[in-house]
Amino acid sequence: MKFLIYLLLILQLTGCVITQTPENGTPPGEVVRPENKGERPEEKKEVVPRENPDSLFYEYEEEAMKLLSKLSIEEKIGQMFLVRCPEDEKLQLYLSMKAGGFIMFGKDFAGKTKTEVIDNINYFQENSPIPMIIGVDEEGGSVVRVSSNPKLAEEAFKSPQELYKLGGYEKIKEDTEEKSQLLKSLGINLNLAPVADLSTDPLDFIFDRSFGKPAEETAKFVKIVVETAKENNISSTLKHFPGYGNNLDTHTASAYDRRPYEEFINSDFIPFKAGIESGVESVLVSHNIIESIDPTLPASLSKNVIDILKDDLNFTGIIMTDDLSMGAIREFNSDYPPEVMAVLAGNDMLIVTDFERAYDSLLSAVNNEIITEDRINDSLLKILKWKYYLGLLK
**Distance separating alpha carbons of residues 269 and 208, to the nearest angstrom:** 20
pLDDT digits (tens, 9 = 90+) for 311-366: 999 999 999 999 998 877 876 767 899 999 999 999 999 999 999 999 999 999 99
**Distance separating alpha carbons of residues 236 and 217, to the nearest angstrom:** 19
Among candidate residues 335, 325, 339, 245, the one with its CA nearest the CA of residue 292: 245
Class of domain 57-389: alpha beta
**Distance separating alpha carbons of residues 284 and 320, to the nearest angstrom:** 5
pLDDT digits (tens, 9 = 90+) for 125-160: 999 999 999 999 999 999 999 999 999 999 999 999
Rg of the chain in Å (alpha carbons)? 20
pLDDT above 90 coverage of the chain, percent: 78
Indicate the range of 38-47, 230-239, 384-393 predicted with least confidence.
38-47
DSSP one-letter string for 250-272 = TTTS--EE---HHHIIIIIHHHH
Instruction: Indicate whether 244 pLDDT > 60.
Output: yes
pLDDT digits (tens, 9 = 90+) for 19-30: 333 333 333 334
Confidence label for 54 from pLDDT (cuts 50, 70 and 90):
low
Average pLDDT of the chain to the nearest whole number: 88
pLDDT digits (tens, 9 = 90+) for 297-323: 999 999 999 999 999 999 999 999 999
pTM: 0.86
The pLDDT of residue 240: 96
**Distance separating alpha carbons of residues 57 and 390, to the nearest angstrom:** 10
User: ω before 251 within 30° of 0 (cis)?
Assistant: no
- Give SS3 for 379: helix
Domain ranges of the chain: 57-389
**Distance separating alpha carbons of residues 193 and 139, to the nearest angstrom:** 6
Instruction: Indicate whether 271 pLDDT > 70.
Output: yes
